[in-house]
Amino acid sequence: MTEITQISQWQASTATSAVYERLLASLGTEGFGPEVRHSVFSLTGGVQRLYLFEATGPEDTDLQYFCGERGLAQIFPAYRKWYLPRDPVCEAYEATPRCSDVVLQKVRPAAIISAGFRRRVFDDAGIIERVSVIQRGADTWRGMSVARHCSKGRFQDGELDALIGLAGIVLPMLPFNRRRRSATQPPDVAELEQRFAARYPGIPNRERQVCARAAAGMSVDATARELGIAKTSVLTYRQRAYQRLQVASSLELCALATH
């Protein structure tokens, strides 16, 4: 079992409150995660890893941001496949069954039952402690986790208080950050292909592929290389699609798929 403490009051320090406006300004941008990271480092003696995430359950986690040592991302596929349902953070989900429930969870390597999980996620990287603040939202759990390297020692009480105060600002922002990012990020080629297929089922597959790449801003050369066809073929497919859809430019094509 891990150490879980119920949080009944969120008390942000003056230092924590000072970052509120910067976090608001960075919502929905690539700067949100780094702003949280900067705040964590300014309020603690340093961390090895930082994760910001939402989860609907033990096997469904949306990682919004992470930072850590080089090569950290390489363990993610194995973590999702083998270790995610075994992560002790699931105990924190169980401890926050009602909306707005909040807990602080401390996880040390000895609490990890799976030897493979303990070795790959903790021991190999010298992680001595992971601290998570978990909040139950209306639809998801929201989490901020930080991990400390053995060279820094475990988190002190003052650091934990500062992290709880920061989490009180950050965690309610996570759903808004996700929605803003989704609204501002253009759809990728695969999504554009799906949209063209759904909205214009009469377009042949190759024309649809060319349309999706034109709408995404890809050049004729890049489209030809990616699809493995001649540039003249790309031009031909695009011209036919323009005629079918009654458009005259890639901008008009993009508007058909994104509006």
Domain containing residue 145: CATH number: 3.30.450.80
Same domain, 44 and 167: yes
Same domain, 64 and 166: yes
Give the list of residues 6+ apart from residue 61 with CB closer than 8 angstroms, or none.
Answer: 53, 54, 55, 80, 84
**pLDDT at site 184:** 66
**pLDDT at site 185:** 67
Q: Which of 125, 150, 183 is the last residue of a domain?
A: 183
Write out pLDDT tens, residues 93-144: 999 999 999 999 999 999 999 999 999 999 999 999 999 999 999 999 999 9
Strand spans (E) along 42-190: 49-57, 60-67, 102-107, 127-136, 141-149
Question: Which residue's entry shows tokens 């996620």?
Answer: 121
Measured over the CA atoms of residue 219, residue 225, residue 228 and residue 232, the dihedral's sign is: positive
**pLDDT at site 186:** 67
Residue 12 has pLDDT above 80, yes or no: no
**pLDDT at site 123:** 96
Same domain, 17 and 107: yes
User: What's the mean per-residue pLDDT of the chain?
Assistant: 90
Same domain, 204 and 95: no
**pLDDT at site 258:** 67
Alpha carbon distances (Å) from 203 to 67, 154, 182, 233: 43, 60, 27, 16
Rounded to an integer, what distance in angstroms lies between the CA atom of residue 93 and that of residue 88?
A: 9
Entry pTM: 0.72
CATH code, domain with 218: 1.10.10
CA dihedral 161→152→79→40, nearest 10 degrees, is: 40
Same domain, 75 and 96: yes
Here the tokens at position 143 are 């989490």
Same domain, 177 and 222: no
Here the tokens at position 156 are 């002190």
Residue 257 has pLDDT above 80, yes or no: no
How many domains is the chain partitioned into structurally? 2
Same domain, 113 and 241: no
Same domain, 117 and 235: no
Q: Are 83 and 114 in contact (CB under 8 A)?
A: yes
Q: Domain of 238? A: 186-258
Q: Which of 154, 183, 212 is the last residue of a domain?
A: 183
Write out pLDDT tens, residues 47-92: 999 999 999 998 889 999 999 998 888 888 889 888 998 999 999 9
